[in-house]
Amino acid sequence: MNKMRMGLGRGLDALLKPSANVVEQPGVLRTDDVKNESLLRIKIEDIFPNPFQPRMHFDQGSLDELKASIFTNGLIQPITVRKFGDGKFQVVSGERRLRACKEIGLLDIPAYIIEVLSDDVMLSMAIIENIQREKLNPIEIGLAFKRLMEECSLTQEQIAERVGKDRTTIANSIRLLKLPQEIQDSLINDDITMGHARALINLPSHAMQLEALKRIKENNLSVRKVESLVKKMLTETPQGRKTFALKTTGGISTSASLLALEDKLRKIFGTKVICKVKQDGTGDVTIEFYSSDELERLIDLFDVIEKNYH
């Protein structure tokens, strides 16, 4: 028997135990032959799709190219599965490869068989593996990150560490999900780029975002021109200005109460806050930030405040 060593990627390696020697056994797998972390051939009819699959769109052209490659060269990278019932298996990663082999008419396929202790781990593995290995569109990636946060209780920092990206990238991907569906569809269909979408996020209403999208398509605007357009729309339209009003019961008449207010706001926002009051009773509040990451954190906090306010 030939011993084989194939990496599963940083994401899966972080979730799995250190692997024993992987052995390829010819022929179709019998239930009694199943061993954790082994590489065997399994009947395709005994393999079921991954219910946690983050990919929503399978491009047929890309799938046809994969089929042609497998038909000519064979399947170079095995799929990964877990045991699922008596003699049945569930895909952990490699659903595109499984689909391609099935459409070609192959009866069995090489697969790593691993032990997955819970559905949460299954979800985390499937998402991380897809993000690393497959060409997910930006919305699928954003939804995948959101599922990791909501269903696996991972923080943005933990996700960033597992997939090898910085936290700002994670936050920006999730923010794309706040865009109206028409803009998300345009991003999925490559009508606009991530740069366009990130610029549109800065507009405060769906109506303004859709108006900007219309101008992008009509005039074939570059990302730089869209950024200029967004700045212009924010300047010219009162709706483009978000205002967070502070209400006090008795006003601010002393420096002591002003300092107390600043201290309270510092605790809420987790950064330096400066309050200034003019003679006529008006004033301004300055909330400072010192990095793009901190700005993203404040934006997320404002979104929470706005939702609770309404």
Which residues on adjacent β-strands are paired with residue 285?
A: 275
Catalytic annotation, residues: 95
CA atoms in the 13 A half-sphere facing the CB of 126: 28
DSSP string, the chain: --EE-----HHHHHHSPPP--EEEE-SPPPGGG--TTEEEEEEGGGEE--TT-------HHHHHHHHHHHHHH--SS-EEEEE-STT-EEEEE-HHHHHHHHHHT-SEEEEEEE----HHHHHHHHHHHHHHHS---HHHHHHHHHHHHHHS---HHHHHHHHT--HHHHHHHHHGGGS-HHHHHHHHTTSS-HHHHHHHHTSSSHHHHHHHHHHHHHHT--HHHHHHHHHHHHHH-GGG--------SS---SHHHHHHHHHHHHHHHTS-EEEEE-TTS-EEEEE---SHHHHHHHHHHHHHHHHHH-
The residue to which tokens 């909330």 are assigned = 287
